[in-house]
Amino acid sequence: MPSPATAILLCNLGTPDAPTAPALRRYLAQFLSDPRVVEIPRAAWLPILHGIILRTRPAQSAAKYQTIWTPDGSPLAVWTNKQAVMLRGWLGEAGAQVQVLPAMRYGRPAIGAQLQALQAEGVKRVLVLPLYPQYSGTTTASVVDDVAAWTRRQRHFPELRFVNDYHDDPGYVASLAASVRAHWQREGGPADKLVMSFHGIPERNVRLGDPYADQCRTTARLLAEALGLAPEQYQLTFQSRFGKARWLEPYTEPTLVALAQAGTRRVDVMCPGFTGDCLETLEEINQEARHAFLQAGGQEFRYIPCLNDSHAWITALSRIAQRHLAGWPDM
């Protein structure tokens, strides 16, 4: 049977090949040298990156990855691969015969390598679908940059479409709400506060026009409405600050500490901007932030897993894909 002529490239941030310092050095060198991620003049930034950060941070990051690594590898890679397989199956059941390949902006499988493989198989059309519900120049635009870099090396390439964001997509919001309700059912009801932690970006990026902060707030509001939460029952925060610049606030861990010190005994914590569990959710939130909350006097920290392979999420993802595939021929 011939391969489908249309494909989806399901793109995620990336992960090191192993939880070791050499693997982290390679990964961080690629990640932190992306001008979309660190908007500092190259002449000033690269000596700091190669002279300081890549000498110290890889070993620290490797130790963190070792606490979450699975027998199948990095959780981010495991979930991204599984989502790609399930998305192809969901679309096939809906009558859309398309290939679905996972790809990573940093690390492997690289976006360019996957596009090259699709082109070699005769694919004529590719929908680039980032697993970032909220748009940011640091994430979605960087994926577009990488695709464009590959096209510049080609004499001829497939027709391309891009999904910018789906932060307010009803199916995406409904899948988040379903995950929270399932958690509440398992745990015997809501905690005192639902904390929605999104990945942060520098505040400067927003001043320059990045819509990310507004899209995170919209997602949080829509999710709270779907769950019937009053404003005082939930809190939006931002995590993963890097460097000394001011990032989006409030910061997640200090907020959790303040909640505990103010008498909040139980918190539910989720990461709506991450569609699959990864270092930032499993280690930074479920380990570090958990410890900070309990040390500050909190009594119960309940982490709500990411969407991962939930049926509601894969259904939503398939419908997002179908909308963006609309109008393309089946062959």
Three-state DSSP state, 181: helix
Contacts of 46 by beta carbon, 8 Å cutoff, 6+ apart: 33
| Alpha helix stretches (DSSP H) within 97-169 | 111-120, 140-151
**Which residues are paired to 306 by β-bridges?**
none
Could you give phi then psi for residue 269, rounded to 5 degrees?
A: -125, 130
Rounded to an integer, what distance in angstroms lies between the CA atom of residue 201 and that of residue 199? Answer: 7
291 is annotated as contributing to ligand binding: no
Rounded to an integer, what distance in angstroms lies between the CA atom of residue 152 and that of residue 40? Answer: 25
167 is annotated as contributing to ligand binding: no
Rounded to an integer, what distance in angstroms lies between the CA atom of residue 171 and that of residue 177? Answer: 10
DSSP codes joined into one string, 273-324: T-SS--HHHHTIIIIIIHHHHHHTT--EEEEPP--TT-HHHHHHHHHHHHHH
Give Cα separations from 311 to 35, 77, 116, 273 (angstroms). 36, 19, 30, 18
DSSP-derived letter for residue 108 is: S
Binding residues: 199, 280
Binding residues for Fe(2+): 199, 280
